[in-house]
Amino acid sequence: MKNVNFILKNFKFILYVSALFIFFIITYVSIPKFLNFSTESIKEKLKKNNNIDIKSITRVDYKIFPTPRLSLPDSNFTIGKKIAEINNSELEIILNISQILNFKKINYKKLLINNGFSKINLNNINQLLDNINKSKKKITFKENDIIFYQNNNFFFKISNAIIKINSSKEKKELNINGIFLDNKISIKLNSTLKKKNNLTLKIPGLDIAAKVFFEKNDDNNQNGFFNLEVFNNFLKFSFVKEDNIKLSNGFIRTKLTNTSFAGEIDFKPIFFSTLDFEIANLDMKQLFLVIQKFFFSERINNLSLLKKINGIFNFKSNFEGSIINRNGEILFKDFIAGKKKSLYFDAKIIEFGKKGNIQFNLKKKSKIQKRFIKKH
């Protein structure tokens, strides 16, 4: 009889727990489907927590698996003041379990953005960083194509991207993993409330690794350093960004040369750079091969790029002189080379391509000048 009573008591307990569990499951599955979720509340919360502007919500679905969430299919919205535009995506709002019955005010833990494509304006990249710092809820993108553009011109694209934006009181973090030029790419940005930022980029298949550290001062200017490694070629420099960008402590190490550099880069009214190079080592034979391939190949596709690389590049040490590039016109000014630096010359590339021409103006110490055309 004691054994029977023990079994009956345990059976009642198991039956009670089972009934409670079944009741919870029925409530979890059924009740939220009958609730009329407020679209205005959804818009308000998205704006407040993540600075997301969504003009219209055509449909709101409730999903129970794997966790309670609201689904907004075929969504188009912007983040910030058109910092990023997201199109044709499914926006999932992951709800707090304790709040699934509250249909007047939507409370969520994070956002999940599936598929579609995103357009990011590189002119507003600083605003994007500020928006990440102010974001209150975690955002994750899955299988999203990211298109980066500037002044309505396509820049580059990352396909099938997984993007995670994490927020905490001390630190904000942005992680991007996807495909770039058929290679895996990884981008990670850490941002602290002290306006200090670390950006790392890796493309293992292309042997590319880059790191940037930058912070804002009280005048809202930025300073930091940049490191880049590509196929055992190394570039680094420190910078200060005010009205223009000032470079210092620069260094380049390649198979072609080892050189230090410093200078300034202006973006307004046009892109223009003034850089001073002090060369420690230079492979002249390799240099001529690079010049031949870049300026005098059969199929030169660099003319549009050359017109954008405006600047003055000054050289010291092994040889001295300046290369001046203005709208695709390239001048070699006041060059000193040769043994004991006995050769003085100016030059100008007057035609590009396989039949390109370089015009020289040679000067010797005697000041006797000669002019000739050298066909490449």
Owner of token pair 């973090």: 173
Average pLDDT per 10 consecutive residues for the chain, totaling 376 residues: 54 66 58 62 89 87 81 90 87 78 70 91 75 82 89 85 80 88 91 78 93 82 91 92 91 90 88 90 78 69 66 85 84 80 80 77 56 40
Contacts of 234 (CB under 8 A, 6+ apart): 227, 228, 251, 252, 253, 254
Contact (Cβ atoms closer than 8 angstroms) between residue 174 and residue 192:
no
The residue count for the chain: 376
Alpha-carbon distances of 277 from 132, 255, 327, rounded to whole Å = 38, 17, 22
Task: Break the chain down into helix, strand, coil percent, rounded to 5.
Answer: 20, 55, 25
**What distances in angstroms separate CA 36 from CA 26, 27, 47, 109, 255, one per listed residue?**
18, 16, 20, 20, 67
User: What pLDDT is recorded for position 128?
Assistant: 75
pLDDT, residue 62, reads 81
Distances from the Cα of 95 to the Cα of 52, 65, 100, 161, angstroms: 17, 12, 6, 24
Residue 304's pLDDT is 63
Q: Rounded to whole angstroms, how far apart are CA atoms 59 and 57?
A: 6
Total-model pTM: 0.71
pLDDT at 155: 82
**Domain-wise residue ranges, the chain:** 32-172, 255-376
> What distances in angstroms separate CA 374 from CA 321, 356, 357, 369, one per listed residue?
20, 9, 6, 16
Chain segment 306-342, per-residue pLDDT in tens: 667 789 999 887 778 898 988 778 888 888 876 677 7
